[in-house]
Amino acid sequence: MHARMRDTGGNMDVEMVLKNLQGDKAVHGENLSGLDFSGQDLSGADLSGCDLSGCNFRDAKLTSSDLSDCNLQKSDFRGADLSLANLYNSDLTGAKLRRANLTHANRTMAKITKWAMKGAYITGPTAYTE
């Protein structure tokens, strides 16, 4: 599956990110805002510290991914699998999480509201800030 690319003015595009992740390389602290990762398998990806604001992760597989310390504001995670993902200290303000699977995801210190969690599938610890 090829990702749709969008010029975001950031440092990397979707194809570059996927290539780095396939080579078992982490992508840390990059500006990836606005990219379209819909339907992509990003299981186990290390994207910690990245600006992922406004990204499209609809129906993406993010199982066991590291999204700690990320800016995830206004990103679309509808239908995404975030089970066992690390969302520690990430900002999910305005993120869309309906039908997202957050089973046993680490949401400790994540900036997220109960309202944003409405319609998400959640089990495990529920630590988050409002």
Domain-wise residue ranges, the chain: 1-130
- pTM assigned to the model: 0.82
Measured at the CA of 28, the angle between CA 24 and CA 29, to 5 degrees, comes to 165
pLDDT in tens, 99-126: 999 999 999 999 987 656 677 777 765 5
Classify domain 1-130 at the CATH class level: mainly beta
Do 66 and 84 form a contact (C-beta atoms < 8 A)? no
pLDDT in tens, 65-93: 999 999 999 999 999 999 999 999 999 99
Average pLDDT, the chain: 85
